[in-house]
Copies of this chain bind each other. A is one copy, B any other.
Amino acid sequence: MANSAHIEGTPNPNVSIDCVVFGFDNEKLKVLLIEQKNKGSINAQFALPGDLVLEDEDLHQSATRILKELTDLEGIYLKQFKTFGDPNRVRDVKDQEWLRTFREDPEARVITVAYYSLVKMEDYIPQAASLAGKVIWQNVDEVPQLAFDHNQIVNEALERLREEFEYKNVGYELLPKKFTLSMLQKLHEIILGIELDKRNFRKKIKKSEVLIPLEEKQSGVDHKPAQLFRYKSSSR
């Protein structure tokens, strides 16, 4: 059976990648959204950065390429967390016009492999690379209706982030390289969705021995400058 989908460098019509990129501005947890490419009369929707996988690339390679192409982000922590395959996930009316305009095979079922990623906001200013429209940081508690099942994907990424944060200290990547204990407490509160007692929190963090105190304090703040710390595992 001759099938163009087998040719290297062409997209596989049935498999895509979507990336949930989280950021933290010391107040709110954010997620990176792109405006879908727009031609003619299409109502622009926001979506996760994502696209079809090419025939000759593996999934991680594909996620890296797509994120670079759409947002200019590169060299960041990317973790595959779940594959979404509801047979109707690309069949919603809201998505039909975009699919018919941009996909060679708009009827094809698309199964998407989702990755999540953590970015230091100090290191990245959102910018659309050539293939995307606008790129924005959106508060995770104010995400609008997104294309396809992307709202569900964001929610499940958030659940996974909570789990990995609790069990494996994944999440420190969201803080600046040097941070205060207040910033760390805020990050815990935001990700876990709870308020923490300052004294108990500091006791627990001290006991866990994951931080290194620096010979340095905050600068440029209008209160008593606080001690700065960095995360022990410098590999992250």
Which A residues fall within an 8 A CB radius of B?
1, 3, 5-6, 12, 14-15, 53, 55-59, 62, 80, 82-87, 104-105, 107-109, 111, 113, 167-168
Contact B14 A56 (CB under 8 A): no
Q: For the complex, give the distance between the alpha carbons of A56 and B12 in Å.
A: 19
**Contacts A/B (CB < 8 Å), 26 sampled:** A1-B104, A1-B107, A3-B105, A3-B108, A5-B14, A5-B108, A6-B107, A6-B108, A12-B14, A12-B109, A12-B111, A14-B14, A15-B111, A53-B85, A53-B111, A55-B109, A56-B87, A58-B85, A58-B87, A59-B83, A59-B111, A62-B85, A80-B83, A83-B83, A83-B113, A111-B113
Q: Which residues of B contact A167 (CB under 8 A)?
A: 167-168
Q: Which residues of B contact A80 (CB under 8 A)?
A: 82-83
Q: Which residue of B lies closest to A57 (CB)?
A: B87
Q: Which residues of B contact A1 (CB under 8 A)?
A: 104-105, 107
Q: For the complex, give the distance between the alpha carbons of A6 and B109 in Å.
A: 7
Q: For the complex, give the distance between the alpha carbons of A59 and B12 in Å.
A: 18
Min Cβ gap A112→B in Å is 10
Q: Which residues of B contact A113 (CB under 8 A)?
A: 83, 85, 111
Contact B111 A86 (CB under 8 A): no
Q: For the complex, give the distance between the alpha carbons of A108 and B113 in Å.
A: 18
Contact B86 A58 (CB under 8 A): yes
Q: Which residues of B contact A109 (CB under 8 A)?
A: 5-6, 12, 55
* Of listed A62, A82, A87, A104, residue having the most chain B CB within 10 A: A87
Q: For the complex, give the distance between the alpha carbons of A91 and B80 in Å.
A: 23
* Of listed A1, A6, A57, residue having the most chain B CB within 10 A: A1
Contact A85 B15 (CB under 8 A): yes
Kindly list 11 other residue pairs between chains A and B, CB separation below 8 angstroms, not including A5-B109, A6-B109, A14-B15: A1-B107, A3-B107, A3-B108, A12-B109, A15-B85, A53-B85, A55-B109, A58-B85, A58-B87, A80-B82, A85-B113
